[in-house]
Structure 1
Amino acid sequence: MNKIRITKEFTFETGHALYGYDGKCRNVHGHSYHLSVTVIGTPITDNSEVKLGMVMDFGDLKKIVKEEVVDPFDHATVFNKNTPHIELAEELESRGHKIILANYQPTSENMVIDFAERIQSRLPENIRLHSLRLRETGTAYAEWYASDNS
């Protein structure tokens, strides 16, 4: 059987701050993130299936990624929950801001690991997450590949 990769792309706006960092990113700031999600599987060959010829319905993949990544992170500010940014996070949250307290420093590298775990847990049994690319700016991105993490 032929293995095929399909990719769906997403965009969302997220703020963050890198506590302890020695550059500008220690300040609260935001990015227009672009996330590419690639899954791998075998196209459906059963003629009785309504999704004949598909590895996975793009709409099904969109639903998973929206629920696990886009909806929670869009227009949120992410802080490492183990830093003094907690006080700032609590103040912002008390004023109605959307805050995520992560178990990690919210770099693109750590965010893409988090996103991979979230997405993998929701994929159908016959579909595997192949890779993620999280673009933070026009010239910088982090990638996650299943083959590097098995």
Structure 2
Amino acid sequence: MKIIRLTKAFTFETAHALHGYDGKCKNIHGHSYKLFVTVKGIPSEDVNDVKLGMVMDFGDLKKIINKEVVNLFDHAILLNQNSPHKALGDKLIAEGHHVVFTDYQPSCENMILWMVDKIKAQLPTNIELVALKLHETENSYGEWLAEDNQ
């Protein structure tokens, strides 16, 4: 086979709070997130294709991830809309802050699961999402692998 995997890294700054959590992360705090997106496919062999030899143009992948994830989350605060944090978020929005309400607890794990659905929906049909790795800190990350979710 001629299957190739491509990975592109993205960074964004996001704050969140975990309502009901029993540790420090119940407080609003931020992270310098680093997201690694891995896709796979077969490089084009069509000599008339401007993407000859490519699985996917890295620029096309960048457009998808920026649109679906980075532009939404960068310099935003993520708050669970199904918690008392909704009132806080509404107040912050009224003051001009960038708030993203989620329908999930905005943990690293749940953020990844949300990203999987958004990214998969935008990929060309011949490209498969293989993995997402989301670093919350330099040495702490969550990872989603397609092979674990079949």
Specify the TM-score bucket, using the shorter chain as the normaliser.
Answer: over 0.9
Once the two structures are TM-superposed, the CA of residue 65 in structure 1 deviates from its matched residue by 0.2
Deviations 1:37-61 (A, max 9, x none): 0000000011111111100000000
User: How many Å separate the matches in 2 of 1:146 and 1:55?
Assistant: 18
- Which 4+ stretches in 1 moved above 3 angstroms? none
Q: AA paired with 2:33?
A: Y
Q: AA paired with 1:146?
A: A
Give the number of aligned pairs.
Answer: 150
Q: AA paired with 2:51?
A: K
Aligned to 2:19: 19
Q: Structure 1: any 5+ residue segments left out of the alignment? A: none
Q: Secondary structure at the match of 1:121?
A: helix
Once the two structures are TM-superposed, the CA of residue 147 in structure 1 deviates from its matched residue by 1.1
Q: AA paired with 2:100?
A: I
Q: Secondary structure at the match of 2:125?
A: coil
Q: RMSD between aligned alpha carbons?
A: 0.6
Deviations 1:84-115 (A, max 9, x none): 01111011010010111101000000000111
Aligned to 2:45: 45
Aligned to 1:99: 99
Q: Structure 2: any 5+ residue segments left out of the alignment? A: none
For normalisation by structure 2, the TM-score amounts to 0.99
